[in-house]
Amino acid sequence: MPFPPLFLQRMAAWLGPEFPAFLEALQAPHLPGLRVNSLKISPADFQARSPLPLQPVPWCPEGFVVPEPTARPGIHPYHEAGLYYLQDPAAMLAAPLLSPQPGEWVLDLCAAPGGKTTHLAARMQNLGVLVANEIHPRRVRALAENLDRCGVTHAMVLNETPERLAARWEGLFDRVLVDAPCSGEGMFGKEEAAARDWSEKAVQGCARRQSAILEAASRLVRPGGHLLYATCTFAPEENEGVLGPFLRTHPDFELLDVRASIGPMGDTGHPEWIGEADTRLKRALRLWPHRGPGRGHFYALLRRAGDERPHRPRPRTRLPGRARTLYNEFVRQTLQDPPPDEGLLVLGHHLYRAVLPPEMWEGLRVFRPGWLLGQVEETAFVPSRALAMGIRPEAAQQAYRLELTDPALSAFLRGETIPGPDLSGWVLVTLEEFPLGWARATRRGLRR
């Protein structure tokens, strides 16, 4: 795949003797990155049963490289069960750097398709509030589906502009991630469109959008909170060129030095590449494809001065009588250990466990206010796959276990009715001890 000549000229001038190794790495076959979902399984336990060869990612205990370009981990049933997420190794550093803690309020401002969001959720252990926002409507559904598959239960999904969120939720979050839309230079060897559409004008346009997003994101961070700015591009205009002006106009934000977190595989920021005199920008971190696994990334971790914790109301349950009756009947017949009922809410025909009170998000474009539990129909409650993926098998009164070698596994994943034991009602179908979804017991078997 040919790279833009001007891009090559720029990188050669900046990298000097490292440029040949950089170019070779960028052109090399893509090796899949696999991040174990610790909401489901520990990295050690997954390694013990992994059907794939794995090489550790140095900066992410949950992260691995699959050292076979022809491997297809995305079609393995373990992926469908949410045991792992396919993610570039360089992107796996975002969650360790931002370091969200269980119980905190965290915002991923540019979240789709959900790689970094699901990593944040796992680090939070499904405790606290996680808001995943995506401005592009067509990408929101994929984001929600990935959260469901990974068993995330404490997240709401929005389709909003950063500016509208900043106006509504100023100073609300402990940690904010800005995985900024960029020119994607790190993806040139993988995505032909990224290289085809590149130009200096496009880089400058990205930088203007990134500056606006960063400005809005900064308003959402509480005093004492953290903001992580990330891109998957090498262009300094989109990295140091965005951060330099921001730091000069926001003296309440400090750029933290995170370079020591990964040692010699990381590189500093390079303000000199674009004539920036602010040496604080050297505290930022660059990952290069020729120095370590992955396609490359840029990270800058900022802390806002102060230590003020805003008032954060809890959601109350608001269930009309029929919905409450049908849901309670489902719980009585199907679950040993039902989810906490705080925040239960019906929108349309769907029942959610909302993570924020409705008055906090009224008027915003909310795709999902929280964990989707199921659908309230005329005479029954129908559980969602999100509910199945967010509970443990022992929480269900009836569970039917499939093994990797069972022919019924592929049939169930295709949506077919499979043979099953003599049961009635809803049955949680699992792959080994990991939920796959609900099935309804019928005379013919288990119908998905």
Give the residue numbers marked as catalytic.
232
Residue 347: both structure tokens together: 């929108």
Scan for tokens 């893509």, then name that residue: 30
CA dihedral 274, 276, 281, 285 (to 10 degrees): 10
Contacts of 196 (CB under 8 A, 6+ apart): none
Distance separating alpha carbons of residues 245 and 248, to the nearest angstrom: 5
Contacts of 191 (CB under 8 A, 6+ apart): 184
DSSP, collapsed to helix, strand or coil, labels residue 49 as: helix
Contacts of 133 (CB under 8 A, 6+ apart): 107, 108, 109, 110, 111, 157, 158, 159, 160, 162, 165
Residue whose C-alpha is closest to residue 250's, from 286, 278, 290:
278
Distance separating alpha carbons of residues 5 and 429, to the nearest angstrom: 53
DSSP, collapsed to helix, strand or coil, labels residue 347 as: strand
Scan for tokens 């509208």, then name that residue: 164
Distance separating alpha carbons of residues 405 and 341, to the nearest angstrom: 38
What strands, in cross-sheet order, belong to the sheet with 425-431?
Answer: 399-402, 425-431, 434-442, 445-447
Distance separating alpha carbons of residues 345 and 100, to the nearest angstrom: 27
DSSP class of residue 2 equals P
Residue 247: both structure tokens together: 């730091």
- The gap between the terminal CA atoms of the chain, to the nearest Å, is 43
On whether the CB atoms of residues 159 and 137 are closer than 8 A, the answer is yes
Distance separating alpha carbons of residues 178 and 439, to the nearest angstrom: 39
Strands 129-133, 105-108: pairing is parallel
C-alpha Rg value of the chain to the nearest Å: 23
Burial (CB < 10 A; 0-12, 13-18, 19+), residue 414, is exposed
Residue 246 region by backbone torsions, left for phi larger than 0, else alpha for psi between -120 and 50, else beta? alpha
Distance separating alpha carbons of residues 70 and 136, to the nearest angstrom: 31
